[in-house]
Homo-oligomer: A and B are copies of this chain.
C-alpha cells in the first residue's frame, strides 16, 4: 500500500489584535478549501493559529489575558473549521492557547482525523522567554508567564497510515524533542511557530541568521531521526512586530522539499512518502544497533550545565 501523504503547511499571515476569531477561522477555511482542491490529506496550521502572538505583551488584567484562550475545542468559533475539514475528509493540526476546566494554561496543538474528530493533543514542553517584565528587551516574550510547560510529553499517534508526532515552535530547537519522537518511530512531525524576525536581546541578530537557525533545527531533527517534518509559520507584521516566515517541508534526509515564498497566508504542499523514512532508520540511524544510552545519563539526570571541577 502506498504511504504517500499529500501534506499542506498552511502558513498564516499576521493576525492583528483586533482580528476576530470568526475572521481568522474564515481565513483558515479558505486554506482548507484550497488544500482540498489540491487533494491534500493533511493540513498543518500554525502555533496559536487563532490569535495574534499575545506573549509579546505584559498584560495584567485577567480578562484581557483570558480573551486569548480557548476553554473547549472545538468551540463556537472553530466548529465551522472542524466541519469543513470533515466535509473535505482532510486531517488537520493547529495550535491554540488552552485554558482547562481546572484553570491550567497550555500552549497546545491538536491533530484531527479525516472525520474531524480530535485524535491527538500536544502541549508545548519548551516554553521560551521569561515570566516577568524585562525592561532590557526590545520587546517581551512572556510565554513562561502565560503558560505552564506541557504535561503530556511527546506522544506519537498512528494516523493516516503512519506514525505522526507534534511539537511546537521552540521545541524544534531542542534535539531532545526530535529524539523522543524518533524513539517512538515518528515518520512525520508537524509543528507551528511564531518566531520574531529579530532577537529581543541582540539587535544585530536579524532575520537571515534566525532563518538559518530555524532551518538548521528542522533539518537536523529530520535527518537525525529520519522523519518528515512539516513546519508552519505565522509571519508578517503583527501589531507592529515582525514575525519571520520559513514555512517548509523537510524530507527524512534533512533536505527542504518545499518552502513558502511569501509572508502571507500561503499553502506549501509536498507529497511525503512515509516509506522514505525507512532507509535512514535501518542504517545510520538504526538506534538499536548504534545508540549507547549508558553514556547519555546526563541528558536525563541533570537539567542545567554542571561545569568540570576547577583545577
Contacts and interface: CB of A to CB of B under 8 A. Distances in A.
A282 to B, nearest CB: 9
Given A163-B307, A216-B254, A295 B224 contact: no
A293 B303 contact: yes
A281 interface: yes
A184 B150 CA distance: 26
A253 interface: yes
Given A176-B179, A216-B219, A283-B201, A156 B308 contact: yes
A297 interface: yes
Contacts of A292: 125-126, 149, 176, 303
Interface string A142-181: 0000000110011111100001000000100111101110
A128 B153 CA distance: 30
| Size bracket of the A interface | 35 or more
Contacts of A153: 295
Nearest to A279: B202
Interface string A76-87: 000000000000
A179 B175 contact: yes
B216 A183 contact: no
In the assembly, how many copies of this chain are there?
Answer: 2
A303 B291 contact: yes
Contacts of A296: 176, 179-180, 299-300
A300 B293 contact: yes
A305 B216 contact: no
B279 A304 contact: no
Given A149-B292, A300-B299, A307 B174 contact: no
Interface centre among A183, A253, A302 (most CB of B within 10 A): A183
A197 interface: no
Interface of A: 125-128, 149-150, 153-158, 163, 170, 173-176, 178-180, 182-185, 201-202, 209, 212-213, 216-217, 219-220, 223-224, 253-255, 279, 281, 283-293, 295-308, 310-311
A149 B220 CA distance: 24
A174 to B, nearest CB: 7
Given A184-B308, A293-B301, A300-B293, A217 B209 contact: no
Contact of A287 (B170, B178, B303): B303
Contact of A305 (B154, B219, B288): B288
Contacts of A287: 303-305
A182 B170 CA distance: 18
B212 A216 contact: no
B254 A290 contact: no
Contact of A180 (B174, B178, B295): B295
A170 B290 CA distance: 10
